[in-house]
Copies of this chain bind each other. A is one copy, B any other.
Amino acid sequence: MEKILSLRYEDGSLVMIDQRKLPLEEVDFVARTYREVDFAIKDMVIRGAPAIGAAAAYGVALAAKEFEALEKEDFLEKLEESLGVLNRSRPTAVNLMWAVKRMRRLIESNRHLAVRELSELILAEAHAITAEDREINLAMGNHGNSLIGEKATILTHCNTGALATVGIGTALGVIRQAHYSGKDILVYADETRPRLQGARLTAWELLKEGIKAKLIADSVAATLIRDGKIDVILVGADRVAGNGDAANKIGTFMLSVLAKTYGVPFYVVAPTTTLDFDSASGRDIVIEERDPQEVTHIEGVRFAPEGIEVYNPAFDVTPAENITGIVTEKGILSPPYRESMEALRRSL
């Protein structure tokens, strides 16, 4: 069923779709050492929080294999070094730190094992992380699919698909499940300035799946929403605060205001690992500002004049009151989110 795999473990290597080259070239990037995985994460060969987490886990597995010939103490030292390097490969990526922490815990509680056994356990854990992410994606996809009519037009933003995860994706995973289950869907994909992940990656995934789709400039969504052309809006999230406020790619908030104004259902699709139960609201979320060149250049070509200042926030925060529901692998949360999230937390 999976037409696209952002990463796969093959013959002792981590093989990743090289996302720097998409959609114009489809080539693999093969990492044989943890340093190569570190490079792949840093250079955005692979991106998307869950995909980065799984890649880092495999990075530790590659380190274990690489140093298997060493004495146990040296082996453990090298493993520790790899954990540190991989943990620093991207700042702000919550899943990355989570995956590294999980590997460290595994290693610590299994120090008594022989090098070879420990190495095998580490690889098995990386496989488990990957398998879990696929399961979670499928569960979110199925829950989300219950929201989609037999014939539906769906608007989505950024890339939340197979390329961002190791499974079918989050918001785009729901779209895939709707398509796989035989529904007649049309997807409007926001290009998602400034990095154009919608135009580059989501458009590519939708074509690969044979899902009917149209690419639009971000500001076109407003008229589609007003004119009743959109049945439902599905977006991902980088982080959801304890009250339901959701941080996601810049442009998400704009869509949410339009959705609310014109009564279009607006769903956030996010695994429970993205839910930050302890944070009070989205106000606590620090918005990363990125390189001005993302706005002034495309494909290395400058189009804005030299010397113009740029304001380039990577994310925005959508307030809970603009969100119709939050689709997780455990089910769909409804407002008020403080209560539904608290109930979910207790069930985890």
Contact = CB atoms under 8 A, between A and B. Distances in A.
Nearest to A226: B253
Contacts of A304: 23, 191, 196, 199-200, 203, 215
A207 B261 contact: no
Given A204-B305, A217-B250, A191 B191 contact: no
Contacts of A250: 217, 219-220, 223
A164 to B, nearest CB: 17
Nearest to A251: B219
B258 A305 contact: no
Contacts of A212: 309
Given A298-B301, A299-B303, A310 B215 contact: yes
A26 B103 CA distance: 56
A295 B217 CA distance: 7
Contact of A316 (B207, B223, B299, B308): B223
A188 interface: yes
Interface string A79-119: 00000000000000000000000000000000000000000
Interface string A47-68: 0000000000000000000000
- 4 nearest A-B residue pairs (beta carbon): A219-B251, A23-B305, A222-B254, A193-B217
A260 to B, nearest CB: 8
B214 A303 contact: no
A307 interface: yes
A228 interface: no
Interface in A211-249: 212-223, 226
A331 interface: no
The residue in A191, A199, A304, A313 that gathers the most chain B C-beta atoms within 10 A of its C-beta is A304
Nearest to A249: B219
A206 B307 CA distance: 11
Given A214-B311, A215-B308, A220-B312, 5 more contacts: A196-B304, A200-B304, A222-B257, A298-B301, A298-B303
A199 B311 CA distance: 12
A296 interface: yes
Interface residues of A, number: 51
Contacts of A261: 257, 261
Contacts of A191: 193, 295, 304
A1 interface: no
B216 A219 contact: no
A25 to B, nearest CB: 11
Contacts of A298: 298-299, 301, 303
A151 interface: no
B257 A214 contact: no
A335 interface: no
B23 A223 contact: no
A330 interface: no
Contact of A303 (B24, B296, B313): B24
A265 interface: no
A345 interface: no
Contacts of A301: 298-299, 301
Contacts of A313: 220, 223
Contacts of A216: 295, 310-312
Nearest to A292: B215
